[in-house]
């Protein structure tokens, strides 16, 4: 393995909660790759399974926090990072030997970009997605099959693995006010695109994701509903916002979730944010649900 001396020095941030042996396997994959990050920060989001209690080798360090969820954990990792580039990586991934340079090259050439790799399903390695599009009013996304080998623009950079410049990420406020897990990557992608910054798919970078039927986070339907509603209030214009709210209204816990969102979401997060020139063009291309 070789340090990334010819590329942007990078901190890999791994947020983890009750990941068991998957976390150690992910770190081993990073350390065995051809290119070694300058720093690997494991953010322990209140795990009680002992999965972070290892004698981790350099350049790994652990940041321990009370349990809050993925977005706050990742933001804490970003704030503690010492390198000019960040890669956020799920704690249940295997990286290809040459996975890192293509991602770093993408954000080196386009410093305001968020970039994501081709992500393979461990159960079916031949299946890969690079970027995603939204397919329904609840912000479910569908992976896009990489149609070209070159770096290209995408609608959503899924959060399982994404690269960004540290300074830009922090300047944009990091991940949004999301509970537990879900939608933090969709919100980040929408904010990025609406700020005029590129969202890039990098097919030359390969990461294998261990997709799971259930997450280790505690069942939290209201937290997920809150995340959907926060994203809708921040980004959707009137008709689409109505579709989202009506769909959410059919789900248990809606009243409590809406009340919680309205109580905690700063008014400025909605005023002047939803709608605006160009948003409909984005939605037509990357969120063609009606």
Question: Mean pLDDT in the chain?
Answer: 90
DSSP state of 268: G
CA gap 209, 43 in Å, rounded: 19
**What integer pLDDT is reported at residue 6 of this predicted model?**
64
Structural domain boundaries in the chain: 2-209, 221-286
pLDDT, one tens digit per residue, over 72-88 is 999 999 999 999 999 99
Q: Is the pLDDT reported for residue 170 higher than 70?
A: yes
Query: Phi and psi of 77, rounded to 5°?
Result: -65, -40
CA gap 187, 114 in Å, rounded: 13
- What burial letters (b/e) apply to 166-185, b meaning 16+ CB within 10 Å? bebbeebebbbbbbbbbbbb
Query: Phi and psi of 85, rounded to 5°?
Result: -125, 150
Q: Is the pLDDT reported for residue 35 higher than 70?
A: yes
H-helix or E-strand spanning residue 78: helix 70-80
Query: Would you state the structure tokens that stand for residue 91, as one six-digit string?
Result: 């704690």
Query: Would you state the structure tokens that stand for residue 256, as one six-digit string?
Result: 């409590």
SS3 166: helix
CA gap 267, 181 in Å, rounded: 23
For the chain, percent of residues with pLDDT exceeding 90: 75
Q: What is the dihedral of CA 118, 121, 122, 123, to 10 degrees?
A: -160
Q: Is the pLDDT reported for residue 4 higher than 70?
A: no
Of 102, 87, 134, 107, nearest in space to 34 by CA: 102
- What burial letters (b/e) apply to 114-125, b meaning 16+ CB within 10 Å? bbbbbbbeeeee
Are the CB atoms for 4 and 86 separated by under 8 Å? no
**pTM for the full predicted model:** 0.91
Are the CB atoms for 113 and 107 separated by under 8 Å? yes
Query: Would you state the structure tokens that stand for residue 23, as one six-digit string?
Result: 């976390």
- For residues 275-289, give the mean pLDDT: 75
2-209: CATH topology: Spore Coat Polysaccharide Biosynthesis Protein SpsA; Chain A (3.90.550)
Query: Would you state the structure tokens that stand for residue 198, as one six-digit string?
Result: 């590129």
Q: Which of 111-125, 188-202, 213-227 has the lowest mean pLDDT?
A: 213-227
Q: Is the pLDDT reported for residue 230 higher than 60?
A: yes
Query: Would you state the structure tokens that stand for residue 172, as one six-digit string?
Result: 């944009």
Q: Band of the pLDDT at 175, cuts 50, 70, 90?
A: very high
Q: Which of 8-17, 92-101, 122-131, 184-193 has the lowest mean pLDDT?
A: 122-131
Are the CB atoms for 53 and 120 separated by under 8 Å? no
CA gap 180, 15 in Å, rounded: 12
> CA end-to-end span of the chain, whole Å?
48
């Amino acid at each position: 393995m070789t340090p990334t001396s010819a590329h942007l020095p990078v901190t890999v941030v791994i947020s983890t909660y009750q990941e068991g042996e998957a976390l150690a396997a992910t770190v081993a994959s990073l350390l065995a790759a051809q290119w070694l990050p300058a720093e690997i920060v494991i953010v322990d989001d209140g795990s009680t399974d002992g999965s972070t209690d290892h004698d981790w080798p350099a350049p790994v360090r652990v940041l321990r926090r009370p349990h809050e969820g993925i977005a706050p954990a990742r933001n804490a990792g970003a704030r503690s990072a010492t390198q000019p580039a960040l890669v956020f990586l799920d704690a249940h991934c295997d990286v290809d030997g040459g996975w890192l340079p293509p991602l770093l090259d993408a954000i080196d050439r386009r410093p305001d970009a968020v970039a994501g790799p081709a992500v393979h399903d461990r159960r079916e390695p031949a299946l890969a997605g690079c970027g995603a599009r939204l397919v329904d009013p609840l912000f479910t996304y569908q992976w896009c099959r990489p149609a070209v080998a070159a770096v290209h623009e995408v609608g959503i950079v899924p959060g399982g693995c994404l690269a960004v410049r540290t300074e830009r990420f922090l300047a944009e406020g990091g991940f949004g006010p999301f509970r537990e897990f879900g939608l933090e990557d969709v919100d980040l992608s929408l904010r990025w695109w609406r700020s005029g910054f590129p969202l890039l798919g990098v097919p030359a970078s390969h990461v294998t994701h261990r997709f799971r039927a259930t997450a280790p986070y505690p069942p939290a339907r209201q937290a997920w509903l809150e995340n959907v509603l926060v994203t809708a209030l921040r980004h959707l214009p009137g008709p689409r916002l109505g579709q989202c709210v009506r769909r959410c209204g059919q789900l248990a816990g809606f009243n409590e979730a809406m009340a919680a969102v309205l109580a905690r979401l700063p008014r400025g997060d909605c005023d002047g944010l939803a709608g605006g020139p160009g948003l409909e063009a984005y939605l037509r291309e990357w969120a063609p649900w009606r």
